[in-house]
Amino acid sequence: MSGFYKNKRVFITGHTGFKGAWLAAALLDTGAQIKGYALAPNTEPSLYNLLGLARKMESVIADIRDGERLAKEIASFRPDIILHLAAQPLVRLSYAEPVLTYSTNVMGTLNVFEAARRTADVRAVVNITSDKCYENRETSQPYKETDPMGGFDPYSSSKGMSELLTASYRNCYFNPKDYGRAHQVGLASCRAGNVIGGGDYALDRIAPDCARAISQNKEIVLRNPKATRPWQHVLEPLFGYLLVAQKLYGGPQAAQGWNFGPEPEDIRTVEDLAKKFTAVWGRGNYILQPDAKLHEAKLLHLDITKAKTQLGWRPVYDFDKAVAATAQWYKNFYAGEDICQFTLAQIGEYKKVYSKAIPI
Ligand SMILES: NC(=O)c1ccc[n+]([C@@H]2O[C@H](COP(=O)([O-])OP(=O)(O)OC[C@H]3O[C@@H](n4cnc5c(N)ncnc54)[C@H](O)[C@@H]3O)[C@@H](O)[C@H]2O)c1
Distance between CA 174 and CA 252 in Å, rounded?
9
**Is 206 within a domain?**
no
pLDDT at 36 over 70: yes
Amino acid of residue 347: I
Q: Which of 84-88, 157-161, 220-224 has the lowest mean pLDDT?
A: 220-224
Residue 342 CB neighbour total at 10 angstroms = 16
Quick one: pLDDT at residue 360?
A: 59
Of the chain, the percentage scoring pLDDT greater than 90 comes to 88
Q: What CATH number should be reported for the domain holding residue 189?
A: 3.40.50.720
Q: How far is the CA of 98 from the centre of ligand 1 (A)?
A: 15
As to burial, measured by CB atoms within 10 angstroms (0-12 exposed, 13-18 middle, 19+ buried), residue 303 is middle
Mean pLDDT of the region 322-335: 98
Please state the domain count of the chain.
1
Provide the whole-model pTM: 0.96
pLDDT at 300 over 80: no
**Is 123 within a domain?**
yes
**Is 283 within a domain?**
no
The confidence band for 318, taking pLDDT boundaries of 50, 70 and 90, is: very high
Quick one: pLDDT at residue 78?
A: 97
Task: Please give the number of the atom of ligand 1 that sits closest to the Cα of 41.
Answer: 37
Q: How far is the CA of 181 from the centre of ligand 1 (A)?
A: 34
Domain range for 32: 2-196+232-264+296-319+339-357
Residue 302's beta-bridge partner residues?
143
**Is 112 within a domain?**
yes
Quick one: pLDDT at residue 293?
A: 63
Model confidence pLDDT, tens digit, residues 89-128? 999 999 999 999 999 999 999 999 999 999 999 999 999 9
**Is 214 within a domain?**
no
Q: Whose CA is closest to 193, among 19, 17, 7?
A: 19
**Is 213 within a domain?**
no
**Is 326 within a domain?**
no
Task: Please give the number of the atom of ligand 1 that sits closest to the Cα of 131.
Answer: 6
Q: How far is the CA of 87 from the centre of ligand 1 (A)?
A: 4
As to burial, measured by CB atoms within 10 angstroms (0-12 exposed, 13-18 middle, 19+ buried), residue 193 is buried
Tell me the H-state helices in the chain. Answer: 2-5, 18-30, 47-50, 53-56, 67-77, 91-96, 98-102, 108-117, 154-172, 206-215, 235-250, 270-281, 305-306, 319-334, 339-357
The confidence band for 296, taking pLDDT boundaries of 50, 70 and 90, is: low
Quick one: pLDDT at residue 305?
A: 97
- Pocket lining for ligand 1, CB < 6 angstroms: 14, 16-20, 38-39, 63-65, 85-89, 104, 108, 128, 130, 192, 194-195, 202
**Is 183 within a domain?**
yes
Model confidence pLDDT, tens digit, residues 56-83? 999 999 999 999 999 999 999 999 999 9
Task: Please give the number of the atom of ligand 1 that sits closest to the Cα of 200.
Answer: 20
Model confidence pLDDT, tens digit, residues 148-193? 999 999 999 999 999 999 999 999 999 999 999 999 999 999 999 8
